[in-house]
Amino acid sequence: MSVTAPAGFRAAGVSAGLKSTGNKDVALVVNDGPLDVAAGVFTSNRVVAAPVIWSRQAVADGVARAVVLNSGGANACTGPEGFADTHHTAEHVAQALDVSSGDVLVCSTGLIGERLDMTALLGGADAAVAALALDGGDVAAEAIMTTDSVAKTVVVTATDGSWSVGGMAKGAGMLAPGLATMLSVLTTDAVVDAAAADTALRRATARTFDRVDSDGCMSTNDTVLLLASGASGVKVSTDDLTDLVTRACADLSRKLVADAEGASHDIAVRVTGATTEAAAVAVARAVTRSNLFKAAVFGNDPNWGRVLSAVGTVPEDVAPFDALAVDVSINGVQVCRAGGVGEDRSLVDLAADREVHVVVDLHAGEAEATVWTNDLTHDYVHENSAYST
């Protein structure tokens, strides 16, 4: 049910002809209220697609009634004409829904540097408006897929069942912080105000989507939106909202890693004993960015020397620790102890499972953090050398 699981939402997913495959490529999510609260988090890339420029501005007032999303074209690096296309799309959908165009958010994903086929897109938007349904969440999730092999959806319900958070996401590979290369729309029927929605979404993404890093690359279109309808009538605290939104984002993040292009392993790099959470993230990020380490994991080689080499690249002022105190364990085997040789690396079996758990203990403090990544495989190289984005 994804985005239509919480009360107050309708959605649709249709084939507009933007994808050469004929697969669904236009999705629409509508908030029927009574509230029209919205929040958004966007890529920190300075090169941003037209829909990011539009939606960042449109959601700044904390209000939105609908999100129209297309796959089959990113509308990035398309100049003023590309921005006009996004604006036109928002106006077109707003008119069909009888809302203000400033309350219609737009997301696009696909190839950079090409204009969208606006005839196809607007036709698809009309078809999506006509197809809006209370159970449309799943087809909407399908319509935003690009190289995804499966649609990603989530529903998290409050313990007492009185309200919930639903969500959908697309993204496979190119996952990097700030944000992963992805689009995600989350919905809730909780009664919250715009400030609470914004706080919850920022806290949630900082610890979930911002901590999956498939290949270190950051896209021009990354967008995560949260819409609140208030239809449950249940007023919730910012902390409770943060909790459920974080659980929904964590689930979607894990699904993005599991579906990363060409990957054969999902790798959790957990850094413990750091002086601060930021230091732990910095060290974990250095490991998840090491092509050498990631290639070793693909080869089922528990190469702790490459982990330690990556750990050592983090500047002292970012993460204080003594390099001669660092322990590394891989899948529970402490292969590196105090910066030197630990247990026999042949005890580590990486072939048995898709998940790999690396723990780096800095022995410098009490903070910790986990960043997820994937291994570097032949299929990653193949998919990203043969497919333009």
Q: Which residues are annotated as a binding site?
A: 146, 170, 181, 261, 384, 389
CA distance to 72, 223, 233, 304, per residue, from 40 (Å)? 22, 7, 23, 39
Q: Which of residues 74-93 bind a copy of itself (CB under 8 A)?
A: 74, 76-79, 82
Give dist(CA 304, CA 360) in Å, integer: 10
Closest approach, Cβ 94 to a copy of itself, in A, equals 26
Q: 88 in helix, strand or coil?
A: helix
Provide the token pair at 357: 């758990």
Instruction: Determine the residue type at 107.
Output: C
Q: 339 in helix, strand or coil?
A: coil
Q: Does 217 bind a copy of itself (CB under 8 A)?
A: yes
Give dist(CA 109, CA 125) in Å, integer: 15
**Around Cβ 6, how many Cβ atoms within 10 Å?**
29
Give dist(CA 85, CA 101) in Å, integer: 13
For the annotated binding site for substrate, the residues are 146, 170, 181, 261, 384, 389
Each residue 164-203 as x (binds a copy of itself by CB under 8 A) or -, in order, gives ----------x-----------------------------
User: Quick one: which of 308, 330, 348, 359 contacts a copy of itself (CB under 8 A)?
Assistant: 308
Tell me if 371 sits within 8 A of 212, measured CB to CB.
Answer: yes
CA distance to 70, 278, 361, 381, per residue, from 317 (Å)? 43, 11, 18, 35
Whether 181 is catalytic? yes
Q: Does 378 bind a copy of itself (CB under 8 A)?
A: yes
Provide the token pair at 346: 């042949």
With tokens 């159970």, the residue in question is 135
Q: Does 310 bind a copy of itself (CB under 8 A)?
A: yes
Alpha-carbon Rg for the chain, nearest whole angstrom, is 21
Q: Which of residues 323-342 bind a copy of itself (CB under 8 A)?
A: 323, 326, 336, 338-341
Residue tagged active-site, from 181, 187, 205, 288:
181
Closest approach, Cβ 197 to a copy of itself, in A, equals 27
Q: Does 237 bind a copy of itself (CB under 8 A)?
A: no
Q: Does 57 bind a copy of itself (CB under 8 A)?
A: no
Q: Does 365 bind a copy of itself (CB under 8 A)?
A: no
Q: Does 37 bind a copy of itself (CB under 8 A)?
A: no
Q: Does 111 bind a copy of itself (CB under 8 A)?
A: yes
Q: 41 in helix, strand or coil?
A: strand
Give dist(CA 283, CA 287) in Å, integer: 7
Using the minimum distance from each CB to a copy of itself, give the nearer residue, 99 or 112. 112
**Which residues lie near a copy of itself (CB under 8 A)?**
44-48, 74, 76-79, 82, 111-114, 174, 215-220, 289-292, 295-296, 298-299, 301, 303-306, 308-314, 316, 323, 326, 336, 338-341, 376-378, 380-382, 384-386, 388-389
Could you list the active site residues? 181
